[in-house]
Structures are given as structure tokens and as C-alpha cells.
Amino acid sequence: MADEVDRRPKGWALLRRLPPESDLRAVLVSLLVCLFCSATISLTVAWLRPYKDANRAREQRASVEQIVRSAPGLAELLEAGGDARVAVDVVDLETGQPVRGVDPDEFDPVAAARDPELGLAIPPEVDLAGLGRRARWARIYRVEEGGRLRLLVLPVEGAGYASTMRGYLALESDLRTIRALSFHEHAETPGLGAEIDDPDWRAQWSGKQAFDDRGEIRIAIDRGRVDPDDPFAVHRVDGISGATRTCVGVTQLLRFWLGPQGYGPLLTRLAEERTSDEREDSR
């Protein structure tokens, strides 16, 4: 009859009625376990994401503060409460100009890189950092005293051997001399590529010249120790034994971000502003 109740077992009852040795039962149980585990993992990731983002933000701020305070005289100036201050800007990488109406604290360059409107694909022939995409804008840090630039801290990222490396490059006011390079996020091989965190290796970057006298990007990591008699020694840092691909990745990401696809337009604008200020002072 049409209105007869269907009394066939359904759902959990059907599963329980299947013989223990049934292939169908094994498949269904496995499927249910997978679904349960997948849902649990997804919920856990979603629940932990705000904490992970907050921790990453704290690590980034700590990295910037460490770089700023490592510069000679800046820690004292900032603590004295004088003219020295740290300014945060969001800049358009194509023009080097500040982007108005964007809160730097709310801007997420990693998420922006994935956004069809806020990010762009990098042509393979110029993608030295191996990123594939980058955000159209970047968040930068300027340490100023009396309205003059003392230190410029720039976020950098690129592909290493086993991970994407993210960190900060600090340039002195001449926009050529490196004050520091540090990485706050990576998953390079412990004991090898992870030695980019070694304080002694990081200390080598201070005073190195990113550009030569003609403005060409020369900074690089050697395969071994830098020969002090090498005319290019001022542009070189010692390599890390057993971490060739990580070192190549660091060199490539620096050359990408210092070039026209990265902060090149910003550095050009700041250099022009510095020249203009120097001319005003000489009058």
C-alpha cells in the first residue's frame, strides 16, 4: 500500500545489523571515523586561528622592536621621549607612495596576496623569491628623528629549502647600508637552514652594502666564508654549511624585494626626498 510504513532499518540501525566481518560495515565505519576526525580538525584549526594570528603578530612586533633597538643610539632616543619615533605606513609597491585610508594594524599582506584585487601574480621570469603572488601593498616601518629618516624596516619573504621564510630587512638612512636581517617565520631544516636564526650569522649583516656605487643590487651569501680581500666582500655574507638552498633563497628574496618588483620604487622615492632635504639644508 502507498501509505504503508517503510520498516526497513536505516542509519545507525542499518550499520548495527551488518555482520562484523562485512566489507560494507568496514567501509562505513572508516568513513564515519574519517568524517569525525576531519570535522574535529577543522573546528580545532578554526578555533586556534585567532590565537595563531595573535602570536604571529606579537612575534613580528618583537622582531621589529629588536631591530630598531639594536641600531646605535636609537634605543636611547626612543626611551628619552624626544623627537625619535616609529611610524608605520602602508605603501603601494608599484609607486612607492603611501596608501591613504588603510589601517596598518588591520592590513594583512599574506591574505592580500591571495585576494584577486589586493594581490597580483608575479611573472615567473622576475619572481626571484619564488612567491608566485604578492600583495600590491606592503606595511613598512620608519624610524625618524626630527622629521628625518634614521632607519627603514622592510618586511621580506621568499621560498627557502623547506618553507616560506618571512622576516625583516633594516636599512640605514642612506638606504644602502644594511643594519639587520632577521626572520620571524620559517620551517627550514634544524641544524642546517635553520641556522639563519643564529645570532653570530645574523650579526654579519650589519654594515653590509645592499647596492654598489651604481645602484646595482649586489648583496649575496657566499658558498663558504667571505674573503676579506675580495673587492665584493662588503656585499657578501658567509654561507651556512649544508644549507646551500636556504642561502640561495635568502639571496634571491633580498634581490627581489630590493628590486623593481619589490621596494625599488619606494627606495627611489625616499632617496629623492633625502636629496631634496640635503639641498634645502645646504642653502
> How much is the pLDDT for 1?
45
Cell (9 digits) for 88: 608605520
233-237 average pLDDT score: 97
Q: Is the dihedral of CA 64, 70, 74, 78 positive or negative?
A: positive
pLDDT value at 9 more than 60 = no
Cell (9 digits) for 244: 646551500
The CA-atom distances, in angstroms, between 82 and each of 69, 71, 74, 87, 144 are: 15, 16, 11, 14, 11
Percent of the chain with pLDDT strictly greater than 70: 78
pLDDT tens-digit map of 33-71: 888 888 888 777 666 666 555 565 566 566 566 666 655
User: How many residues appear in the chain?
Assistant: 283
* Closest to 267 measured CA to CA, from 277, 276, 257: 257
* Closest to 99 measured CA to CA, from 266, 267, 276, 274: 266
Lowest mean pLDDT among 1-5, 20-24, 188-192: 1-5
The CA-atom distances, in angstroms, between 135 and each of 64, 87, 154 are: 20, 20, 14
Task: Give the whole-angstrom CA distance, residue 208 versus residue 218.
Answer: 10
Lowest mean pLDDT among 34-43, 137-146, 193-202: 34-43
pLDDT tens-digit map of 145-187: 888 888 999 999 999 999 999 999 999 999 999 999 999 889 9
Cell (9 digits) for 263: 621596494
User: The pTM is what?
Assistant: 0.76
DSSP code at position 207: T
> How much is the pLDDT for 70?
59
Cell (9 digits) for 233: 666582500
Task: Give the whole-angstrom CA distance, residue 67 versus residue 140.
Answer: 13
- Alpha helix stretches (DSSP H) within 93-225: 109-114, 199-203
pLDDT value at 108 more than 60 = yes
**Average model confidence (pLDDT) across the chain:** 84
